[in-house]
Amino acid sequence: MSFRHRFDPTSLREYDIRGIVGKTLTAQDAYAIGRAFGSIIARRGGTNVVIGYDGRLSSPALESALVRGAMASGMAVTRVGCGPTPLLYFASVTLGADGAVMVTGSHNPPDHNGFKMMLDSRPFFGRQIRDLGNLCATGDMVPETTGSVRDMDLTDAYVQRLLDDWDGGARALHVVWDNGHSAAGRVLARLVQGLPGRHTILNGEIDGHFPVHHPDPTIPENLEHLIGTVRAEHADIGIAFDGDADRIGVVDNTGRIIWADQLLVILARDILCHHAGATVIADVKASQVLFDAVKGAGGNPVMWGAGHSLIKSKMAETGALLAGEMSGHIFFADKWYGFDDALYAAVRLLGIVARLPGPLSDIWQALPVMINTPELRFACSDTRKFAVIQDVAERLRAAGATVSLIDGVRVSTPDGWWLLRASNTQAMLVARAESMTEAGLARLKAELTTQLQQSGIKAPDFSAHDPHHGCNG
């Protein structure tokens, strides 16, 4: 009898498979993913898959079921154990794996978990995930057989490769790291032993309960512990990770948050010193200051859709050497492998800071001052959200507005810009606006509110969110 399985319809997302453990995601789902993904690899002529998992309480059981499923499709499985998602990506690339799967809940609540996949070291997402679901539903798998399994600890090789690209100057930094009890704990402990300077690690133990704060560095309250420690110890910089350490958060020597588009300005200028004319990609939520800064430094700025899989695919298409998202995913391809890696981004950033003539805060203070909203997310049904974007786009085009339709609608006006897009992973719309003045920002928010009202959608309460100041903060 052929194997068949149906997933909870909410678990098959655009960029990964995820859900609430025991409710919308189970060990049976994990086995089915291994069985179907192994079948996909086998039919492409592949034979091997690399599997890793994060520090969540449910991850070991899900990983075990995933391994069994992949072996049942004849795969030679290499288990790299508990660690950050970038370690799994590193294993996939350096071992030449035909496929890779990471069991991780990323930055989601402790009772959530999921699976990120790579096929031939490229992102596996979108239609590919939907096709995997169809394979399980129809039972269209390769015949069941018995594969093999081996354990391989690549921690030392990964850490050494991170250290190989350290390019700091003689200045010894004091760095505060907030591991957030993430899966990077063991790797981070070894990494700092090889870096110069003084290092303070907060919440270094891997703990799936996340007892101190939620592992999402894009939320300011999750950085309060880091900010307080940087200020108390007069450190040069603070660095934070999300739950699987593929996203980075940064605070400067004053404890001020450096948002991802500000960080990209710093990283892009450094890369463009060595690679004139290089392409740098950022998502549609990034500040205009970033795109202007890349162009001003002699680079080729490219705006693209939000989503780590989309960004990685666009990097491969354009040959970009650097990319990033407002969510904190940073991608290097000048010396690195093009995947998002917060640990590697930290090493590169620290090298730049160690070569600065002054503190990191000097760079932030030299950027143009902008006023912008945070990313505002508000409910809109999956059946309605994309129709709203289409309605708004049609009205704006008819009115002759300057509109980018790369991902939702990003509208440029003399006051600045505003964005409205549909979330690819949730039943939500996402909005953001940026101007050089408070009055300009008010006009942009009013335009956005009017468009939403014309589509029968209640606008978010902008007054409940204080505007950010700076390039993006």
Question: pLDDT by residue (tens digit) across 376-397?
Answer: 888 888 889 999 999 999 999 9
- The residues annotated with a catalytic role in the active site are 106
Confidence band, pLDDT 50/70/90 cuts, at residue 463: low
Confidence band, pLDDT 50/70/90 cuts, at residue 471: very low
For 88, 312, 357, 394, the CA distances from 268, given in Å and listed in that order, are 26, 17, 18, 35
pLDDT the model gives residue 150:
98
Alpha helices in 218-307 (DSSP H): 224-233, 260-274, 288-296
Alpha helices in 141-259 (DSSP H): 155-164, 185-194, 224-233
Angle formed by the axes of helices 185-194 and 155-164, nearest 10°: 40
Residue 402 has pLDDT above 60, yes or no: yes
- Whole-angstrom distance, CA of residue 372 vs CA of residue 369: 10
Around Cβ 466, how many Cβ atoms within 10 Å? 9
The whole-number average pLDDT for the span 181-191 is: 98
pLDDT the model gives residue 16:
92
Residue located via tokens 């307080």: 228
Decide if 141 contacts 134 (C-beta within 8 A).
no
pLDDT the model gives residue 303:
97
pTM of this structure: 0.93
- Whole-angstrom distance, CA of residue 248 vs CA of residue 221: 15
Q: What is the pLDDT of residues 278-310, one digit of tens each?
A: 999 999 999 999 999 999 999 999 999 988 889
Averaged pLDDT of the chain: 94
pLDDT the model gives residue 470:
46
pLDDT the model gives residue 374:
81
Domains of the chain: 17-153 (3.40.120.10), 157-366 (3.40.120.10), 371-469 (3.30.310.50)
Residue 464 has pLDDT above 70, yes or no: no
Residue 472 has pLDDT above 70, yes or no: no
Decide if 357 contacts 389 (C-beta within 8 A).
no
pLDDT the model gives residue 469:
46
Q: What is the pLDDT of residues 329-356, one digit of tens each?
A: 999 999 999 999 999 999 999 999 999 9
